Amino acid sequence: MPELPEVESVRRSLEPLVLGRVITRAEVRRRDFCVVLAEKNSRGASPAEFLENARVTRLERLGKQIAIVAADGRSVCLQLGMSGYVDSTRGDDPAHTHAAWTLDSGERVRFVDPRRFGGLTCYPTFESLRERQWAELGPDALETTPEHLIEACRDARRAIKAVLLDQGVVAGVGNIYADESLFLAGIDPRTMARRVAPERLARLAESVRLVLARAVELRGSTLRDYRDPSGQPGSAQTAHAVYGRGGEACVRCTTTLRSCRVSQRATVWCPSCQRRGSLSSR
């Protein structure tokens, strides 16, 4: 499942292709996949709504969503879901291409999603996209601040990891980077959020930014892979400290890493480096 670093690397690799370009043809293959949100329900988008004859001026990102913004305001929000990706290779469209843009450069950009958990949503303006779709998201995880996290945890009677995974609190933290950030900050993922001391939360905010920024750089260094026929963004595996390493030795202290489920998500932590009860200052 693409997390923030993968989505940011998709955004960065799209920029040189589409910025300043005019979309000469917009194709909507699956009308249930490329939609316009009406008042109560959604309907399939037309080519015009899907940016036909628009000049692309900006690519924005919030959390795991990307917005393609045109000069006249028309905007499309991309959600990669579980298996979605953007393909710009030459040659035939890959299987499961649900929508495609042809640019005045002759290049072709497709949205491919075999499992169809992702989607594209069209808006007449970027402001309407932000109001309708991004208002419910918290600030971007790369800009997590101590103040914001402390406020979000003040009365939170749920595990600190559950707070991190809540896209309404911070946008873009998924399972991998929640575990990695909590390890870096030395906090047991099961700790009730309101019991984590403010100074620890400040450290956690810093850890979230650090872990994600590092992952963005790693993905960024493998952008070339994005152009592979598979269309998958950067394939280099990040050296995870805890994620996926339950039962193995902690990289810091060699204690055996433990695993359990928090908020139905597989969770790994070091019982020695990551503390629980002793953190409480309230």
The residue ranges that bind Zn ion (CB under 5 A) are 250, 252-253, 255, 270, 272-273
User: Measured from the CB of residue 192, what is the shortest distance to Zn ion in angstroms?
Assistant: 22
Q: In the annotation, is 3 catalytic?
A: yes
What are the residues facing 7 on neighbouring strands?
none
Q: Which of 265, 271, 275, 276 is catalytic?
A: 265
If the CB atoms of residues 215 and 270 are measured against Zn ion, the closer one turns out to be 270
b/e 14-44 (16+ beta carbons within 10 angstroms → b): beebbeebbbeebbbebeebbbebeeeeeee
Q: What is the DSSP letter of 92?
A: S
Q: In the annotation, is 199 catalytic?
A: no
User: Measured from the CB of residue 250, what is the shortest distance to Zn ion in angstroms?
Assistant: 3
* Count of beta carbons in the 10 Å neighbourhood of residue 268: 25
User: Measured from the CB of residue 239, what is the shortest distance to Zn ion in angstroms?
Assistant: 15
If the CB atoms of residues 29 and 252 are measured against Zn ion, the closer one turns out to be 252
Q: In the annotation, is 132 catalytic?
A: no
- Cα separation, 211 vs 220, whole angstroms: 14
Q: What is the DSSP letter of 255?
A: P
If the CB atoms of residues 4 and 270 are measured against Zn ion, the closer one turns out to be 270
**Residue number, nearest CB to Zn ion:** 250
Residue 258: exposed, middle, or buried by beta-carbon count in 10 A (0-12, 13-18, 19+)?
A: middle
User: Measured from the CB of residue 186, what is the shortest distance to Zn ion in angstroms?
Assistant: 9
Amino acid letter, 51: L
User: Measured from the CB of residue 274, what is the shortest distance to Zn ion in angstroms?
Assistant: 7
Pair 45, 35: CB distance under 8 Å = yes
- Cα separation, 21 vs 105, whole angstroms: 7
Q: How many residues does the chain have?
A: 282
Q: In the annotation, is 64 catalytic?
A: yes
If the CB atoms of residues 164 and 270 are measured against Zn ion, the closer one turns out to be 270
How far, in Å, are 145, 201, 282 from residue 204 at the CA level?
A: 9, 5, 18
* Count of beta carbons in the 10 Å neighbourhood of residue 139: 15
If the CB atoms of residues 5 and 186 are measured against Zn ion, the closer one turns out to be 186
Residues labelled as active-site residues:
2-3, 64, 265
